[in-house]
Chain A
Amino acid sequence: MRASFCFLLAGATACASAAPPTTTSSTPARDTAQIGAGLGGTSTPNADPFPSTYTPFPSRATVIRNVNILTAAGPMIRNGAILLQNGKIAAVGSTVNAPADALVIDGAGKYVTPGIIDDHSHLGVYAAPGVNALSDGNEATNPSTPYVWAEHSVWPQDPQFPRNLAGGVTTLQVLPGSANLIGGRSVVLKVVPGRTVQAMKFPGAKYGLKMACGENPKRVYQGRGPSTRMGNVAGYRSAWIGAESYRRKWDKWNADHKGDPPQRDLGNETLAEVLRGNILVHNHCYRADEMAQMIDIAHEFGYKIRSFHHGVEAYKIGDLLAKEGISASIWADWGSFKMEAIDAVKGNMALVDRAGARVIVHSDDPSGSQRLNQEAAKAMAAGAEIGLPVSEEQAIKWLTINPAWALGLDDRIGSLEPGKNADVVLWSGDPFSVYTRAEKVWVDGAMLYDRSDPSEQWRTDFEIGFVPFTRN
């Protein structure tokens, strides 16, 4: 009965965003260490000016026994056990050796999965309540705004954050909206309470760059341009031409330090980092033909696209995505809300998966983000209907390790393997059932959500007084 939050923002095109560029360098496997040049900030000249101050919450050794475990790294372990210790997965298998003082949880009839990762969120930048004062997701003043950073819009007291955590989501990529050809930097957040956005920032995570194809930019900038898709493409290419020149100047100066450093330019700093492979491109793009054009642009300028977001026509080019190593961050069943979305099919995920490309269940929606497991379940059913059944072992990857890869964090999160961060969800039953809910959620080994215990439920400052305390 409510006009959709997403579509209310359609004028500013908040919904549906972008894909990440990839890098050839491996990501460092450390979470809390100071970020080095190129790991999360700009490599030059002032890397990481807004460093993460996140530290894991207090945790105790925890064993969940007698539980079905979807590891996202192999077959389901039935009636297995998992040990969380010192913020990491210490052991997982049919049995584990637990320290005597460990908290033991009986998981009979329940399931454990890695924390869910939503690589397309606008939490904090389009906070609830959805009033103008909190609408900070689209810097719709210029078709190319690589100089803005989503983190500078994030409101840590957005009441949508704890709801996401209660849905089993432990990591988010918060993106700028899709009004612009180049929308700005994304930020990767842990879904944890924090007084500041810095306290939520995933240490060492690379930034993403939001780009957007198609209808949104040309609609928003109708008057001043671009007003056509060819205008869009000219806009991307012009930006990259400038960035390439900027990168060359700075790389030269960084190598020889001769004379005064070149003039800094905020936007080109970000774009140059994309060209160096240090920022991942997340490209909002619906149509198959436009995705193919964006791939050519990436080839022309030597960067990689990490993920196409929304990609309702990804099923038409699953082979191309597989060949290019580009993931598809897509919906289970959204479509037809605009012309570039009319060919949406429920089999999209199954078809792209079968073609060999990485499938990611994304949300672009604060409500859908809370039940990405249900979105995956719908896509599994759609696959079965067209003769492409998807196993639970495969579908869990759509929700965890694949988005972890899209964020360049697959060596730290996204699967239940020893040494990885203990981002874990205990579900009341099969996570792909409509009746199942997340019961307990751990981030870095700390239990931050417990459905059975209101005292273990995070409430934002905003909610105090305004929102009745009813969650359970």
Chain B
Amino acid sequence: MRQLIFRIAISFAVGAAITGPAGAQTIAITGGKVYPVSGPPIEGGTVVIVNGKITAVGKNVAIPAGAQRIDATGKIVTPGFVNSSTQLGVQEVSQVSDTRDMSARGKDNIAAAFTIWDGLNPNSVMMAPARKEGITSFVVMPTGGLVAGQAALLDVVPGTTTDMIIRAPVAMIAEVGDPQLAGVNARGELIAKLRELLDDTRFFQTHRDAFDRAQTRPFVASRLDLQAMIPVIQGKLPLVVVVDRASDIDAAMRIAREFNLKVMIGGGAEGWMVADKLAAARIPVLTGAMNNIPHGFASLGERQENAGLLRKAGVEVALIGNAGGGDEEAFNVRNLKQEAGNAVAYGMTWDDALRAVTLAPAEIFGVADRVGSLQPGREGNVVVWSGDPFEFTTRVEHVFVRGHEYTDKTRQDLLMERYKALPGTHNNPPQ
């Protein structure tokens, strides 16, 4: 039996207290080419961080006395990157089931009450490599079934999950591209099942008393699942519809209109075919730029130009890893920058690609007041790059999350130190 241990998950958008090691540090990053993303780039700009928050960004900014100065002359300064589709912290070794916590069993392929962050491991060894390469925030996203559960957006900071959370939930996830995964036989039946769930949620919302007296008809989902779906039918919590085929995207858009849902598309391989419609409906798309293989009959039109074409049509795009190789959602969350570079190679403007890994996901997930841009009041999530952030030769020179600079060695760094001189050492190298 599935354990029903959902404590405060029912309340919408649990705001997290901001803690962590930020301390009372004051930092001034000077001289770099600063990309606030929320505004035009600033040559020779300064970013000031006080007590974990950005307090000033600009060309002629007064540097507070006693600030730690970081000389970024000749460097690029951007907001920390936001990876919008990860399993960071819920998948350590993907073939070891003990370390997999991203898919709920649910009831009849519906797991709306699944709050994935409650199983997140903040001590995952995947965190530091992601942060080291410029990822400072991530969405942890459930997967599997028709309704996979709720996603959260977190910062890559040490401490507890509570410390890390920027906002939870940020979205409900539904996978509507594959009838078999949803436990039905046909695409139309899948949509019918989703409609039934939304309809039941509506009824449940207005008939709670009758439900509690056991005077309602049976529902397609459990009490907690229905409860969790209420913010979705209220249009408060976005529904990420994971789908590839253009006709499935169209069906998702019909459902969204029917129930006044706030929808975004995840994956969206064939989104370019209906780009104008997505733009008109103001539906954002989470997609990648490194896949062009017709993996299945639902994604025959997959192409690397998808992200750029969607953006050109006016769709808000957040870039995610979707090359399909396997570990872009955990071990290689860090490769988001490669995705962005490829998006540029296949038609997206460089500025849009930067936006698609910073401010776009922050806006899509409703946390732009916290992360995704360099503006006063935002978290001190800042990366200093040696050059173009998307280029392979570029190094992350400094990475700040909530105003704290992280220089810790990753497990991989320590392994390499062990074996750099063979036969290697069996002792822990000094850190």
Contacts and interface: CB of A to CB of B under 8 A. Distances in A.
Interface stretch (A1-9, A261-269, A271-279): A1-9
A433 B325 contact: no
Q: How large is the interface on B (under 10, 10 to 19, 20 to 34, 35 or more residues)?
A: 35 or more
A432 interface: yes
Interface stretch (A172-180, A183-191, A205-213, A463-471): A463-471
| Main secondary structure on B side of the interface with A | loop
A437 B305 CA distance: 13
Contacts of B332: 333-334
A310 interface: no
Interface in B368-397: 390-395
B422 interface: yes
A337 B324 CA distance: 13
A345 interface: yes
Contact of B416 (A315, A317, A365, A384): A315
B297 A338 contact: no
A4 B85 contact: no
Contacts of A344: 331, 412
Contacts, number: 170
B322 A316 contact: no
A2 B93 contact: no
A436 B143 contact: no
Nearest to A334: B327
Given A336-B92, A386-B420, A129 B294 contact: yes
Contact of A347 (B323, B327, B416): B416
B327 A1 contact: no
A367 B94 contact: no
A338 B322 contact: no
A467 B294 contact: yes
A345 B93 contact: no
A291 interface: no
A338 B393 contact: no
Contacts of B295: 2, 5, 128-130
Nearest to B173: A1
Given A2-B322, A470-B303, A381 B395 contact: yes
Contacts of A432: 392-393
Interface residues of A, number: 64
Contacts of A33: none
Nearest to A6: B326
Interface in B105-148: 126, 143
Contacts of B416: 315, 345, 347, 351, 386
A215 B95 CA distance: 10
B392 A380 contact: yes
Contact of B345 (A333, A334, A434): A434
A448 B335 CA distance: 31
Nearest to B292: A163
Interface stretch (B55-63, B194-202, B230-238, B336-344): B336-344
A128 B391 CA distance: 30
Nearest to B306: A470
Given A10-B95, A129-B300, A344-B412, A434 B338 contact: yes
A319 B327 contact: no
B94 A374 contact: no
B286 interface: yes
Contact of B266 (A1, A130, A335, A371): A1
Q: Which of B85, B290, B325, B327 is packed against the most chain A CB atoms within 10 Å?
A: B325
A317 B164 CA distance: 39
B331 A335 contact: yes
A26 B336 CA distance: 44
A128 B332 CA distance: 24
B280 to A, nearest CB: 21
A336 B300 contact: no
Interface in A137-177: 159-160, 163
A409 interface: no
Given A434-B342, A434-B391, A160 B301 contact: no
A64 interface: no
Contact of A338 (B94, B301, B390): B94
B296 A130 contact: yes
B345 A4 contact: no
A374 B327 contact: no
A346 B132 CA distance: 13
Interface in A209-224: 215
Contacts of B93: 336-339, 341-342
Given A163-B293, A434-B342, A378 B392 contact: yes
B399 to A, nearest CB: 14
A100 interface: no
Contact of B412 (A346, A368, A378): A346
Given A1-B266, A343-B415, A367-B290, A336 B392 contact: no
A377 B424 CA distance: 26
A308 B345 CA distance: 33
A337 B345 contact: no
Scoring A5, A384, A432, A471 by chain B CB atoms within 10 A of each residue's CB, the highest score goes to A5
A463 to B, nearest CB: 8
Interface in B291-338: 291-297, 299-301, 303, 305, 320, 322-327, 330-332, 335, 338
B267 interface: yes
A466 B303 contact: no
B429 interface: no
Contacts of A338: 93-96
Contacts of B126: 336
A15 interface: yes
Contacts of B424: 316
B182 interface: no
Nearest to B243: A1
Contacts of B422: 316-319, 355
A230 interface: no
B419 interface: yes
B335 to A, nearest CB: 7
A437 B320 contact: no
Given A336-B331, A386-B416, A381 B392 contact: yes
Interface string A341-372: 11111110001000100000000011110110
B412 A377 contact: no
Contact of B286 (A1, A367, A463): A1
Interface in B258-304: 266-267, 273, 286-287, 290-297, 299-301, 303
Contact of A1 (B293, B322, B325): B322
A385 interface: yes
Contacts of A468: 273, 300-301
A467 B301 contact: yes
Contacts of A367: 290-291, 293, 323-325
A131 interface: yes
A334 B338 CA distance: 14
Contacts of B415: 343, 345
A395 B322 CA distance: 26
B218 interface: no
18 contacts: A1-B267, A2-B244, A5-B295, A129-B300, A333-B335, A334-B331, A334-B332, A336-B331, A341-B93, A345-B412, A345-B416, A351-B420, A365-B325, A367-B325, A368-B323, A384-B393, A435-B390, A471-B292
Instruction: List the 9 closest A-B pairs by CB distance, nearest first.
Output: A434-B341, A1-B267, A4-B326, A377-B392, A338-B95, A336-B331, A345-B412, A1-B266, A367-B323
Given A386-B420, A434-B338, 5 more contacts: A1-B85, A343-B415, A345-B416, A435-B341, A435-B345
